[in-house]
């Protein structure tokens, strides 16, 4: 069996930063360090951090006063930030800077009097955080049909922002529908969607052209991972999302000579290796990596944390 790996795949700079924040906090302040919600959407990452002394909570009232507390990469609402101050928690904010950029865009549009539309998945932690960062009513839409249902007259001052982890193509379709219905609408270029999402989607489309089947490694609650599987299926090749090698089904690989593998932005490379090892139990493997974009992005750590030398 031939295995071809997408490039880039797996961890993005925002995820690396978020995990580093928890690990560095444990090193510098000692255990326990409290983390509100999953730091990133990957069970293996969360379990690894738990083993090092991180305690994951759903709400801040579970955190002792004055404890070191980390906000997840998805961002939080201002009410959460205020609650942390009231409880005198020592907060390290692991919100991805690109998510923070969406927060700023939304606040600026609202301050100018625009009705803000957020293109995103209702209920996703990133979307909940964005809604809670904008001091004005915001309407969430995910698809073109929901754009048609918007109640605002065509001359309403409108602006849109986007969840970072959506499909670029899906976002373009919704933006086009918004522009057709509200010709004066303003918003960021679709290129402002997370660089890592764009790069992984582009690499996957190239990969799909030269394989018989695609495996997307990542968690079921990872939006960008689920989107990658959808994109792969849309190219016409069979595509499956798996969290680890144990989830492979031998039946998938009948008459399959070449398997493509990619991974969501919150998936550690160790899980890709685990899937490759499981494939190796089915057949002898040849493995290569497609040429692709080399990502050099790095984000600064919060004040008070000392970066490791890499």
Q: What angle do CA 88, 91, 134 make, to 5 degrees?
A: 100
The residues near 20 (Cβ < 8 Å, ≥ 6 apart) are 301, 305, 307, 308
Residue among 35, 142, 121, 130 at smallest CA distance from 84:
35
Helix 97-111 / helix 13-29 crossing angle, nearest 10 deg: 110
Distance in angstroms (rounded) separating the CA atoms of residues 19 and 42: 11
In eight-state DSSP terms, residue 279 is H
Q: Please report which helix (H) or strand (E) contains residue 170, including its range.
A: helix 168-181
245: left (phi over 0), alpha (psi -120 to 50) or beta: alpha
User: Is there a catalytic annotation at residue 62?
Assistant: no
Sign of the CA dihedral 198, 174, 154, 135?
A: negative
The residue whose two tokens read 């490791």 is 308
The residues near 239 (Cβ < 8 Å, ≥ 6 apart) are 213, 214, 215, 216, 229, 232, 233
Residue 110, SS3 per DSSP: helix
Distance in angstroms (rounded) separating the CA atoms of residues 251 and 248: 9
Residue among 23, 38, 126, 244 flagged as catalytic: 126
The residues near 25 (Cβ < 8 Å, ≥ 6 apart) are 33, 68, 70, 92, 305
Residues with catalytic roles: 126
């Amino acid at each position: 069996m031939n295995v071809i790996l997408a490039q880039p795949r797996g961890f993005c700079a925002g995820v690396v930063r978020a995990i580093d924040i928890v690990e560095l906090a444990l090193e510098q302040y000692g255990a326990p360090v409290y983390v509100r919600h999953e730091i990133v959407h990957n069970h293996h990452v969360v379990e690894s951090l738990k083993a090092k002394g991180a305690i994951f909570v759903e709400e801040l009232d579970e955190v002792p006063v004055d404890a070191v507390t980390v906000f997840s990469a998805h961002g939080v609402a201002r009410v959460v930030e205020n609650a942390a101050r009231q409880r005198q928690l020592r907060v390290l904010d692991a919100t991805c800077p690109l998510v923070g950029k969406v927060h700023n865009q939304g606040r600026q549009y609202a301050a100018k009097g625009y009705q803000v539309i957020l293109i995103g998945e209702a209920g996703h932690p990133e979307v909940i955080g964005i809604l809670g960062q904008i001091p004005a009513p915001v309407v969430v839409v995910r698809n073109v049909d929901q754009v048609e249902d918007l109640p605002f007259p065509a001359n309403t001052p409108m602006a849109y922002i986007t969840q970072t982890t959506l499909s670029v193509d899906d976002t373009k379709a919704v933006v086009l529908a918004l522009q057709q219905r509200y010709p004066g609408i303003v918003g960021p270029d679709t290129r402002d969607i997370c660089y890592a999402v764009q790069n992984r989607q582009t690499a996957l489309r190239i990969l799909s052209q030269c394989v018989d089947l695609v495996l997307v490694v990542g968690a079921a609650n990872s939006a960008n991972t689920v989107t990658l599987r959808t994109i792969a299926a849309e190219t016409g090749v069979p595509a499956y999302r798996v969290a680890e090698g144990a989830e492979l089904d031998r039946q998938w690989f009948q008459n399959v000579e070449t398997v493509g593998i990619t991974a969501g932005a919150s998936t550690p490379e160790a899980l890709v290796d685990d899937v490759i090892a499981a494939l190796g139990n089915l057949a002898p493997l040849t493995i290569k990596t497609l040429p692709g974009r080399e990502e050099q992005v790095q984000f600064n750590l919060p004040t008070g944390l000392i970066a490791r030398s890499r």
